[in-house]
Amino acid sequence: MKPTQSLQSIVDPFVTRYGGEVVKELLGNNPKLPENADYLFRRYHVIAELKALENDSFGNPFRDKMGRLMASWVKRGLLLVFGTRRIELSQLHRVYQEEALSVIGKPLLDNVLAKANRDKFVKPRNF
Q: Are residues 45 and 77 in the same domain?
A: no
Q: Are residues 43 and 64 in the same domain?
A: no
Q: Which amino acid appears at position 55 of this protein?
A: N
Number of domains, the chain: 2
**Domain range holding 80?**
59-117
Encode pLDDT of 55-91 as tens digits: 666 678 878 888 899 889 889 888 888 888 788 888 8
The whole-model pTM stands at 0.49
- On whether residue 124 sits in a domain, the answer given is no
Q: Are residues 47 and 17 in the same domain?
A: yes
- On whether residue 2 sits in a domain, the answer given is no
Encode pLDDT of 7-53 as tens digits: 888 999 999 999 999 998 888 877 777 777 889 999 999 988 887 76
Taking the CA atoms of residue 28, residue 33, residue 39 and residue 45 in that order, the dihedral angle to the nearest 10 degrees is -110
The dihedrals phi and psi of 86, each to the nearest 5 degrees, come to -80, 130
- As a whole number of angstroms, the distance between CA 121 and CA 56 comes to 24
- On whether residue 1 sits in a domain, the answer given is no
Q: Are residues 92 and 74 in the same domain?
A: yes
- On whether residue 88 sits in a domain, the answer given is yes
- On whether residue 12 sits in a domain, the answer given is yes
DSSP class of 92: S
Q: Are residues 42 and 70 in the same domain?
A: no
- On whether residue 75 sits in a domain, the answer given is yes
pLDDT of residue 40: 92
Q: Are residues 71 and 41 in the same domain?
A: no
pLDDT of residue 1: 47
Asked if residue 100 has pLDDT above 80, the reply is yes
